[in-house]
Amino acid sequence: MDQKKRTEIASLGQFGLIDLLTRDFSAKNASTVKGVGDDAAVIAPARGEAVLCTTDSFYEGVDFDLTYFPLKHLGYKVVTAGISDILAMNALPAQITVSLGVSAKLPVEALQDLYEGIAFACNEQGVDLVGGDTRASMTGLVVTVTTLGHAKKDKVVYRTGAGQNDLICITGNLGAAYMGLQLLEREKRVLADVENPEPQFKGYEYLLGKYLKPRPRTDIVEALAAEKIVPTAMIDLSDGLASDLMQICKSSACGARIYLERIPIARQTTALAEEMHADPVVAALNGGEDYELLFTVPLSMQEQIMKSGLVDVIGHITPASTGCYLVTPDGQDIKLKAQGFPDPA
């Protein structure tokens, strides 16, 4: 960030800051009756539609590191996280609120960068910013995003509907976001005492993009609707394939078999994992923050889902008594564990 220009937050005051950060946002959705500027937003969904609501909080030092996380990218990513939760219910996003806990170390210009990323994501996804709050923080930057979405009541998909022999489908590839984080953490450690650091990212730009600026899979939900495919269960991949699949199995009272050779892993993910002496399969299973969609469809839809070219079919649902397993190419069953990865030190 340009250090030559620094406007202290205190010089604007709370309401002046809110006015500055939200002045370029305008409503695009018919369901947004009143957005920013009153005591509460007013939302009016269409007849027969359900309103969905989800909230995510992101803490500096826990969920992101401003040493290497550009604030514009952070703004985009926090919107993506909320939108992804709505998409995982087979719904489309419509409104968000953003609340900040801000430490005195950040100038107004930094928050403008954050909101530039938020605005870019909102414009890209057709989402309205309809409110929020700003407060002082003693522990660094905190961003809380509440996302509202809508869908026909009979089209909402839960985690509870997976049935015997349903196909397990995923969008995109897995493990890239986690390996992008590992690359950033490695360069931070290596260059900690270097006066003019030059991080080595060449050849791994895709991984950085997957971690710093993941795109929500709105395209998949829209494509499924166009194909008249309604999943039986769905979840977004924010905690890792193993953990999120087990969430579906727990909610649907079922087991699962997924096949190692069917899990899509990007070449850059494999290359960096090998360079760092890590296992790309472990990254794919437990990495998290891919924000892809994991869902199930009836076996009778196999031909239709395969023809669509939208997803990879990686396994099938089994009885609860059989548990959740990864099957290797030589036929070995490895029990899935919802371990996730620890936060980087």
Residue 295 assigned as binding residue: no
Residue 321 assigned as binding residue: no
Residue 56 assigned as binding residue: yes
Residue 54 assigned as binding residue: yes
Residue 341 assigned as binding residue: yes
Residue 63 assigned as binding residue: yes
Residue 244 assigned as binding residue: no
Q: Which residues contact 239 (CB under 8 A, 6 or more apart)?
A: 247, 288, 338, 340
The Cα angle at residue 36 between residues 30 and 41, in degrees rounded to 5: 60
Which helix (H) or strand (E) segment holds residue 255: the answer is: strand 254-259
Q: Are 50 and 260 in contact (CB under 8 A)?
A: no
Distance CA 338, CA 242 (A): 6
Residue 128 assigned as binding residue: no
Residue 39 assigned as binding residue: yes
Strands in 324-327's sheet, in edge-to-edge order, are 233-237, 292-297, 167-170, 312-319, 254-259, 324-327, 333-335
Residue 159 assigned as binding residue: yes
Residue 343 assigned as binding residue: no
HEC string of 22-51 equals: HCCCCCCCCCEEECCCCCCCEECCCCCEEE
Structure-block tokens of residue 328: 């290797």
Residue 149 assigned as binding residue: no
Residue 133 assigned as binding residue: yes
Structure-block tokens of residue 183: 């690359």
Q: Are 241 and 294 in contact (CB under 8 A)?
A: yes
Structure-block tokens of residue 215: 């795109």
Residues annotated as binding site?
A: 39, 54-56, 63, 85, 115, 132-133, 159, 236, 238-239, 289, 341
Enumerate the known binding-site residues for Mg(2+).
39, 54-56, 85, 133, 236, 239
Annotated binding-site residues for ATP read 115, 132-133, 159, 238
Query: Which residues line the annotated binding site for substrate?
Result: 63, 289, 341
